[in-house]
């Protein structure tokens, strides 16, 4: 079955450490997205990519970085510059982005040790 796979399900970060969240899709979708979800705040867009080797900042990109070297993969790195990284992170994809529904993975919950 086609879908989006996020790993790991749970992740713990020490102070000053970078961590990378994995997102892989086999839907052959062009566009991919990373969101951060905090209680009561809905989903906030971190980064998105419409095509391989290109990506754009979302509303809360500071302290995060991404790469899009392959169509099916869009990893997110939470850097030590992100001072409040504890959250639920969701990856999504859509066929070509514009006005299309997005399909979501099951998320990664990041916590600080």
Partner 1 sequence: AQSVTQLGSHVSVSEGALVLLRCNYSSSVPPYLFWYVQYPNQGLQLLLKYTSAATLVKGINGFEAEFKKSETSFHLTKPSAHMSDAAEYFCAVSENTDKLIFGTGTRLQVFP
The residues that touch partner 1, with contacts defined as CB under 8 A, are: 4, 6, 31, 33, 40-43, 45, 48, 50, 58, 90, 92, 97-107, 109
77 near 19, Cβ under 8 Å?
A: yes
Cross-strand bridge partners of residue 7:
22
User: What SS3 state is found at 47?
Assistant: strand
> In the block, which residue shows the tokens 């961590």?
19
Distance in Å, CB of 15 to partner 1, minimum: 25
10 or 16: whose CB is closer to partner 1?
Answer: 10
Residue 93 φ/ψ, nearest 5 degrees = -145, 160
Contact present, 45 and 60 (Cβ < 8 Å): yes
To partner 1, the closest distance from the beta carbon of 64 in angstroms equals 16
Q: How far is the CB of 69 from partner 1 (least distance, A)?
A: 20
The distance of closest approach from Cβ of residue 70 to partner 1 in the complex, given in angstroms and rounded to an integer, is 19
Q: Which is nearer to partner 1, 4 or 19 (CB)?
A: 4
């Amino acid at each position: 079955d086609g879908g989006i796979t996020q790993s790991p399900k749970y992740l713990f970060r020490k102070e000053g450490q970078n961590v990378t969240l994995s997102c892989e899709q086999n839907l052959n979708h062009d566009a991919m997205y990373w969101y951060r979800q905090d209680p009561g705040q809905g989903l906030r867009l971190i980064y998105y990519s419409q095509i391989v080797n290109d990506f754009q900042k979302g509303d809360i990109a500071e302290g995060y970085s991404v790469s899009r070297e392959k169509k099916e993969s869009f990893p997110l790195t939470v850097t030590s510059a992100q001072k409040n990284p504890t959250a639920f992170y969701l990856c999504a994809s859509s066929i070509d982005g514009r006005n299309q529904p997005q399909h979501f993975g099951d998320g990664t919950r990041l916590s600080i040790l």
